[in-house]
Amino acid sequence: ANGGPAPEAVTEALADVVADARTGIAPLPPASVRLPPPRLDQHGGEVRRLGWRAFEA
């Protein structure tokens, strides 16, 4: 019987998917990738030098 298309192997299904080694496969919109929080004082020098301007986009 012809019940529809044959299922793909995982490697075939993911062949055309854009992924990142650090974050994995991007979630569907409107979700976003969550990055790990910064380490203690990771950006401290930049914040001390630039103040609030360090957070401008």
User: Does the structure show a pLDDT above 80 at 3?
Assistant: no
Let me know if 47 is exposed, middle or buried by CB neighbors in 10 A (0-12, 13-18, 19+). Answer: middle
Q: Average of pLDDT values for 3-16? A: 81
pTM: 0.39
Distance between CA atoms of 23 and 19, rounded to whole angstroms? 8
User: Does the structure show a pLDDT above 60 at 1?
Assistant: no
pLDDT in tens, 14-23: 888 888 888 8
User: Does the structure show a pLDDT above 90 at 41?
Assistant: yes
